Chains A and B, each alone.
Chain A
Amino acid sequence: NAGVTQTPKFQVLKTGQSMTLQCAQDMNHNSMYWYRQDPGMGLRLIYYSASEGTTDKGEVPNGYNVSRLNKREFSLRLESAAPSQTSVYFCASSQPQTGETQYFGPGTRLLVL
């Protein structure tokens, strides 16, 4: 049982390049989330998927798109990377019940030059 896995662990992009961050969970959770973490800002929600087939914007969705490929996988795409998207990205999953614990992946460090 690997929990939540993310690939890649680290990526360097040039401004304008595109990339997709992958996330998978093996806990049969219905809900999945993408956050970004910036110094002094805590984690901020980018997008979430309450269940397979649905996605919704979070606090900071601009510049990102997501795909809930199936129940296990939830990807985050940067179509045209900008330096402001340099951050650490965390994927998480949970069951959609009030107060249910979210389980986090190890994170992807992204540097946009």
Chain B
Amino acid sequence: AQSVTQLDSHVSVSEGTPVLLRCNYSSSYSPSLFWYVQHPNKGLQLLLKYTSAATLVKGINGFEAEFKKSETSFHLTKPSAHMSDAAEYFCVVTIQQAGTALIFGKGTTLSVSS
């Protein structure tokens, strides 16, 4: 069965420092993996997705993630945090046998201080 574990419920960084949000997955199939971001009281926006092409995936707003099959990980990184990056981030895996229905991790709240 597919599952997603976000290893940190809350990450705090200073503006201008690197961001690392960790995600491990479990899947019986070759997975498709996503990172979504949700700003307070807003809907969900796709940051990036991995679909078995390049293992390093670049997304919007300077974020990127690397798919590591040997480690079953899909960590999200950004070289330099901005105040506007403060939000909740979800790592997501597809349920292959159910079309493209998604399984969400429980989320990581990113706080950015000045």
CB distance from A46 to the nearest CB of B (A): 10
A103 to B44, CA, bound (A): 8
Which of B42, B51, B104 meets A44, CB within 8 Å? B104
Say whether B60 faces chain A, with CB atoms less than 8 Å apart: no
CB distance from A94 to the nearest CB of B (A): 5
Which of B49, B90, B101, B104 meets A99, CB within 8 Å? B49
A102 to B34, CA, bound (A): 10
Say whether A1 faces chain B, with CB atoms less than 8 Å apart: no
Q: How large is the interface on B (under 10, 10 to 19, 20 to 34, 35 or more residues)?
A: 20 to 34
Residue contact B100 to A31, C-beta cutoff 8 Å? yes
Residue contact A100 to B100, C-beta cutoff 8 Å? yes
Q: Give the A-B contact count at a CB cut-off of 8 A.
A: 66
Which of B9, B98, B102, B107 meets A102, CB within 8 Å? B102
Q: Nearest A residue to B102 by beta-carbon distance?
A: A102
1/0 per position for B44-87, CB-CB distance to A under 8 A? 11100111100000000000000000000000000000000000
Residue contact B96 to A98, C-beta cutoff 8 Å? yes
CB contact under 8 A between A31 and B99, given known A42-B105, A99-B49: yes
Residue contact B100 to A98, C-beta cutoff 8 Å? yes
Residues of chain B within 8 A (CB-CB) of A98 are 32, 51, 94, 96, 100
